[in-house]
Amino acid sequence: MEGQIGDLEVEKHVQYILSVEKRKDNFESVVMEHLRMNGAYWGLTTLDLLGKLDMVDEDEIISWVMECQHESGGFGGNVGHDPHILYTLSAVQVLALFDKLNVLDIDKVSNYIAGLQNEDGSFSGDMWGEIDTRFSYIAICSLSLLQRLDKINVEKAVNYIVSCKNLDGGFGCTPGAESHAGQIFCCVSALALTGSLHHVDKDLLGWWLCERQVKSGALNGRPEKLPDVCYSWWVLSSLIMIDRAHWIDKEKLIKFILDCQDKENGGISDRPDDAVDVFHTYFGVAGLAHLEYPGLKAVDPAYALPVDVVNRIFFSR
Amino acid sequence: MHGRPRKAPKPEDAAASAAKAEKLRALQSQLLHNHHNQIYTKEALEISAKLLEANPESYTAWNYRKLAVEHNLSHSESDPDTVKSIFSEELRVVENSLKQNFKSYGAWHHRKWVLSKGHSSVDHELQLLDRFQRADSRNFHAWNYRRFIAALKGIPDEEELKYTTKLIETNFSNYSAWHNRSVLLSHLLQNKVKGFFPKEKVLVEEYEFVHQALFTDPDDQSGWFYHLWLLDQTVKPETPLLVSTWPAHGSDIIVSAEGCLDGRALSPFTSFHSDAGTFPLILYFNEAVEGVNSSTVTVKSVFTENKDLVWKPLATMCVQPLSSKHAERQSVEMILWRDVNFHFYDAHVQESSPIAYFDRLSIKKDHEPAASKWHAKTLVNEIALVRQLLSEIDCKIGKLTLARLLMAHDAMVSYMAPHSHKKVHSEEVLQLYSDLMELDPMHSQYYKEAQSLVLLQQVTSNRESLLKHCCHHRVSTSSSVGNSVCLRLNNLSLSRIGCVEQLLWVQMLDLSHNELRSIDGLEAMQLLSFLNLSHNKLSSFTALEPLRLLKLLKVLDISYNEIGAHPVDTRRYLCSSPLSHTVGSDWNFNEFVPDDAKVTNYWEAFAIFRGFNLTQLDIVGNAITDEKFKSFLIKVLPTLKWVDGEELH
């Protein structure tokens, strides 16, 4: 099969995701129990991109999601776990997939998120005060989906993100922190969602990002680090938002992602022949969608949801 | 989740895994029980410590421990030994967890939380950090924590700089150390700290330092990225520069209106036809600037008062409703872009002074600070050094750096001596990029765009070459076209627009038959009325966002592009739309779109074209175009007279 692009094992991946949803007793599942809300978002969005969202029990999922909501309005990673902004976004995204944002008390959730903004415009993850530009992205993304962006000080939020811009054009988690593709995705998305991409030096950052593509065609997250399928999302989405995605070789990246599949048992791993998980399965499939792989729905690079889900929120009557 | 080999599950593995899972689950439910019931006994704390050692990512457990600390502190009657032991225990739990997973956000944050309560010594923390550095010099959690400790304990930047020197000398391939170095140096330079002034002295030392890295391991990217930063520090002007203006400083402009003078008798470079009786004033800076207003810019003219001028920024995407006034034209001629309609500009024809006009396009520089000689000399040194390195080894980033250095040198020399300058290095740079496309084909589009910019530099940098691309457009009847000179940059394989500062005078532009995917930069060409973008690679309407700032645009040809052919829109967030919260309350999309339409392509066209005053539009040859779509466009553009060559009635 040398030279051919290869096939995406859609059925196998669907079965893999459905099995992960059910499997709760092995060690890997228990270790991830506290972030099941993220897992739900990764699994369900992948199913939607593959056109198979109807294979799950929507009502069961939604009622579990709502069980994870805390009295503060925020969501925990699983039932009984403390609220945190990370799981609040995933909860909102899952509900958006099913077009069920209306089950929320929107003001209650928005107030929880808005309440996490600090004086300097940054966002804490929860009441314990960890600050990270990931949380800036999460706040802006979730409030946008809930159409309550006016609850925060957008100008200060943008200024804080810009203060995390580095001399290589990238962004870190806090001012002065090293550029990292994951943080770059968060900052670029947050700037995109607030019409602030003019703060990004697109040529400088675009070059830093396209240099993440190594000889094998895979993408790494920072210079001189190992490549990983999840960067197919973080790097590629960022490139797309600043219109520099054509600076990488798309064919070679597609081939790398397809090589990371477990073609027998389903799922995608960080590198070929490593163990699969639902996190890398999502980022692999979403990356392929960005690369216009046939048969996949288009995915919005900033909201990280299918484009038709986003259009439904912003353009319907 | 990362780096675990894929292996087929064996029965004994499943049993072992299930047993481990049971233990972990028991710990977790006990933890949640204690947490919800606010039980903070020694035994309960022990359970949370075991849980966090097994699973440092269990964030609720870290929250629980913070609550336990607060609870136990309030019950300890401030006995210093008890307080100390409470915090020491927290630090011990963090260290154990970090042994399991030195990238755990929860663990690092817990440590910061403890430290900010004033416990533990600087030495101890720095020793801990040293151990992590040796285990993984790229661990950004450790680096962030180091910056946190430095700020908390007031460790001076100079000391931290020495630390980066130590690390880099041990191993040049430490991007994290180079990064921290650049952050520290920026602060020290900016604050003009003793020993770090003047800037030139520091940069010379840094160049020498990074040269060692480049020669030791030319294929490692870390040094090259740092070198790029040094280069930027060398060439970037201290303050923003005014690069060009239209009208040019000191020039005479004749403004004519309908029924006024016969437009064809006027020089195309110094006349401007305006029905509305207005003309734009363009200031082009080398970077985005703030504070441009009537008190900072003085305009002396016969026609208008300084205070009447309203300055608008073009670099940002502000919510600007286009004015909906449109002049009623008596007769509108359809513009044809065929070769037969143009004839080349004869440089010998008597003209007032088109060539002299080009001279005035550049701003005269009155002074040459002594420092700029150092900058040019530094570039020359670096060019020589990189050439030497490339003679020993074929190195991709080395070649790219050389290309950048040569362009920077050309730009600097032309800035210092605008009239005598020749672009000496263009051919070599074009060749370097061709080499790079072969050496590094994965990034060939990046190199191709760089080549387009060099090409445009060649075309626009001197009067002779620019005139070769100027043509008269033959318009059959006397019309209000006025200036009929067209700049023809077609069939040049351009994948990128640049050098716009040289082209602010252009009213008619032909960019057809190129490879353009975007038209960023065109927004500065405020005089543009006629634009041909046919036969390019525009893949969405959203790519046309820069046109929204061109108030005078009347004729647009985007036929034979790729609009509607791509499911992925890379310009989605580079245009004004509800998605990025950059539209005003005048967004009335739903009034225009037909009921059964697929929203996707329609909203993009609406976002771009609403409020335009186009009289002529060509869109044939794009996947999106069908009859339904055309009628939608005609509704959105009420001023249209011609679509795809057909007159509308």
Structural domain including A61 reads 10-315
* pLDDT tops 60 at residue B547: yes
- In angstroms, the Cα distances linking A78 to A69, A95, A273, B392 are 9, 15, 30, 59
Q: Is residue A2 part of a domain?
A: no
* H or E element at residue B487: strand B485-488
Interface of B with A in 74-113 (CB under 8 A): 105, 109, 112-113
* H or E element at residue A62: helix A58-67
Highest mean pLDDT pick, A1-15, B382-396, B601-615: B382-396
Question: Residue B245 in 3-state DSSP?
Answer: strand
What tokens appear for A30 in the block?
């228990």
Largest CA distance in chain B: 99
Q: What is the DSSP letter of B247?
A: S
CA atoms of B181 and B159, how far apart (whole Å): 11
- Per-residue pLDDT, B471: 86
CA of B118 to nearest chain A CA: how many angstroms apart? 17
Chain A environment of B144 (Cβ under 8 Å): 173-174, 177
Quickly count: other Cβ atoms within 10 Å of residue B555's Cβ. 22
Q: Between chains, do A207 and B446 touch, taking CB under 8 Å as contact?
A: yes
Mean pLDDT of B451-479: 81
Q: Between chains, do A168 and B143 touch, taking CB under 8 Å as contact?
A: no
What is the pLDDT of chain B when averaged over all its residues?
85
Q: State the angle between helix axes of B175-190 and B221-235 in degrees (0 to 180), rounded to the nearest 10.
A: 20
Predicted TM-score (pTM) of the model is: 0.93
Q: Between chains, do A81 and B580 touch, taking CB under 8 Å as contact?
A: no
Counting one residue from A and one from B, how many pairs have CB atoms under 8 Å apart? 205
| Among A310, A317, A316, residue whose Cα is nearest residue A145 | A310
Q: Between chains, do A243 and B570 touch, taking CB under 8 Å as contact?
A: yes
Mean pLDDT of B480-508: 86
Q: Between chains, do A128 and B175 touch, taking CB under 8 Å as contact?
A: no
Q: Is residue A211 part of a domain?
A: yes
B146 to chain A: nearest residue by CA?
A: A177
Contacts of B567 (CB under 8 A, 6+ apart): A292, A298
Chain A environment of B317 (Cβ under 8 Å): 195, 197-198
Chain A environment of B179 (Cβ under 8 Å): 166-168, 178-179
Q: Between chains, do B573 and A241 touch, taking CB under 8 Å as contact?
A: yes
What tokens appear for B585 in the block?
């309350």
> Among all chains, which residue has been given the structure tokens 């209000």?
B480
CA atoms of A230 and A219, how far apart (whole Å): 9
Cite the DSSP H helix spans in B292-369: 354-360
Interface predicted TM-score of the whole assembly (ipTM), two decimals: 0.95
Chain A environment of B109 (Cβ under 8 Å): 128, 130
Q: What angle do CA B234, B235, B237 make, to 5 degrees?
A: 110
CA atoms of B177 and B365, how far apart (whole Å): 40
Mean pLDDT of B134-138: 90
B342, β-bridge pairs: B473
Q: Between chains, do B57 and A81 touch, taking CB under 8 Å as contact?
A: no
CA atoms of A207 and A223, how far apart (whole Å): 12
CA atoms of A185 and A303, how far apart (whole Å): 11
B575 vs B370, which has greater pLDDT? B575
Half-sphere exposure of B341 toward its Cβ, with a 13 Å CA cutoff? 14
Lowest mean pLDDT among A55-64, B374-383, B510-519: B374-383
CA atoms of A245 and B52, how far apart (whole Å): 41
CA of A191 to nearest chain B CA: how many angstroms apart? 9
Lowest mean pLDDT among A84-98, B11-25, B192-206, B440-454: B11-25
Mean pLDDT of B536-549: 95
* pLDDT tops 60 at residue B446: yes
Residue B499 — pLDDT band, cuts 50, 70, 90? very high
Q: Is residue A3 part of a domain?
A: no
- Per-residue pLDDT, B421: 55
Chain B environment of A256 (Cβ under 8 Å): none
CB-based contact, B132 to chain A, within 8 Å = no
Q: Is residue A89 part of a domain?
A: yes
> Among all chains, which residue has been given the structure tokens 């993304």?
A141
Q: What is the DSSP letter of B500?
A: G
- Per-residue pLDDT, B229: 95
- Per-residue pLDDT, B352: 38
CB A223 within 8 A of CB B221: yes
Mean pLDDT of B299-316: 67
**CATH code at A19?**
1.50.10.20
CB A132 within 8 A of CB A161: no
- In angstroms, the Cα distances linking B334 to B93, B480, B612 are 78, 12, 17
Do strands B470-473 and B342-344 pair parallel, antiparallel, or not at all (unpaired)? antiparallel
Chain B environment of A206 (Cβ under 8 Å): 446
Residue B577 — pLDDT band, cuts 50, 70, 90? very high
Report the Cα B170 to chain-centroid distance in Å. Answer: 34
| Among B246, B304, B213, B302, residue whose Cα is nearest residue B528 | B246
| Among B390, B347, B99, residue whose Cα is nearest residue B218 | B390
CB A82 within 8 A of CB B59: yes
How many Å is the Cα radius of gyration of chain B?
32
* pLDDT tops 70 at residue B269: no
A208 to chain B: nearest residue by CA?
A: B225
Q: Is the four-CA dihedral B518, B319, A190, B285 of positive or negative sign?
A: positive
Q: Is residue A1 part of a domain?
A: no
Do strands B646-647 and B642-643 pair parallel, antiparallel, or not at all (unpaired)? antiparallel
- Per-residue pLDDT, B330: 42
- Per-residue pLDDT, B306: 64
Residue B76 — pLDDT band, cuts 50, 70, 90? confident
CB-based contact, B623 to chain A, within 8 Å = no
Q: What is the pLDDT of residues B405-431, one digit of tens each?
A: 999 998 888 776 665 556 678 999 999
CB-based contact, B220 to chain A, within 8 Å = yes
What tokens appear for B474 in the block?
């033959």
Q: Between chains, do A178 and B179 touch, taking CB under 8 Å as contact?
A: yes
Q: What is the pLDDT of residues B207-261, one digit of tens each?
A: 999 999 999 999 999 999 999 999 999 988 888 888 888 887 777 777 776 665 5
Residue B55 — pLDDT band, cuts 50, 70, 90? very high
B480 vs B598, which has greater pLDDT? B598
CA of A147 to nearest chain B CA: how many angstroms apart? 10
CA of A311 to nearest chain B CA: how many angstroms apart? 7
Quickly count: other Cβ atoms within 10 Å of residue B383's Cβ. 17
Q: Between chains, do A274 and B445 touch, taking CB under 8 Å as contact?
A: no
Lowest mean pLDDT among B3-17, B54-68, B327-341, B524-538: B327-341
Rounded to a whole number of angstroms, the distance between the first and last alpha carbons of chain B is: 65
CA atoms of B188 and B182, how far apart (whole Å): 10
Please count the structural domains in chain A. 1
- Per-residue pLDDT, B512: 97
| DSSP string for residues in B550-608 | -TT--EEE--SS-TTS-S--TTTTSS-SGGGT---TT--GGGTS-TT--HHHHHHHHHH
Q: Is residue A132 part of a domain?
A: yes
B613, β-bridge pairs: none
Q: Is residue A264 part of a domain?
A: yes
Lowest mean pLDDT among B265-269, B392-396, B505-509: B265-269
CA atoms of B553 and B533, how far apart (whole Å): 13
Question: Residue A142 in 3-state DSSP?
Answer: helix
Chain B environment of A242 (Cβ under 8 Å): 574
Candidates A210, A280, A311; nearest CB to B443: A210
CA of B58 to nearest chain A CA: how many angstroms apart? 6
Q: Is residue A4 part of a domain?
A: no
Classify residue A209 as exposed, middle or buried by CB count within 10 Å of its CB (0-12, 13-18, 19+).
Answer: buried
Q: What is the pLDDT of residues B330-375, one digit of tens each?
A: 456 677 776 666 666 554 444 433 444 454 444 444 444 545 688 8
CB-based contact, B598 to chain A, within 8 Å = no
Q: Between chains, do A178 and B315 touch, taking CB under 8 Å as contact?
A: no
CB-based contact, B539 to chain A, within 8 Å = no
| DSSP string for residues in B598-611 | -HHHHHHHHHHHTT
Chain B environment of A282 (Cβ under 8 Å): none
- Per-residue pLDDT, B418: 61
Spans of chain A, pLDDT less than 50:
1-4
B509, β-bridge pairs: B487, B531
